[in-house]
Amino acid sequence: MTDADVLDEVFEVIEARKETLPEDSYTASLFTHEKGENAVLEKLGEEMTELVLAAKDDEHEEIAHEAADIVYHMLVLLAMKDMDLEDLRSELEDRR
């Protein structure tokens, strides 16, 4: 499986959670007033700091862990703003 496939799959699950809001889902909780946009932004800030610290310590596993947390929460943010991976891909394409 390529990286693009896993990103698409995770994004699809996020969109489904946004639609159906299952009670036992952390992702769904981010789309409710219980947590919401501020919780996502706070998480992104925390995880960015953790990524910087992991990079400084040259901890490769930790770098991958924090980077994945950031990508996941970034995908949630895109879905929250009614955007999708195409918006990200076209922005990157435009820079080539």
Ligand X SMILES: N=c1c2ncn([C@@H]3O[C@H](COP(=O)(O)OP(=O)(O)OP(=O)(O)O)[C@@H](O)[C@H]3O)c2ncn1[C@@H]1O[C@H](COP(=O)(O)O)[C@@H](O)[C@H]1O
DSSP string, 15-43: HHHHHH--TT-HHHHHTSTTSHHHHHHHH
Q: Which of 27, 51, 54, 78 binds ligand X (CB under 6 A)?
A: 27
Would you say 6 or 83 has its CB closer to ligand X?
A: 6
Mapping DSSP to helix (H, G, I), strand (E, B) and coil, where does residue 81 land? coil
Select 72 or 78, whichever has its Cβ closest to ligand X.
Answer: 72
Angstrom distance (rounded) from CA 25 to CA 21? 7
Q: Does 69 bind ligand X (CB under 6 A)?
A: yes
Choose, by CB under 6 A, the member of 50, 77, 80, 88 that binds ligand X: 50
In the complex, what is the shortest distance from the CB of residue 90 to ligand X, in angstroms, rounded to a whole number?
Answer: 23
CA distance 10 to 32: 19
CB of 14 to ligand X, least distance (A): 6
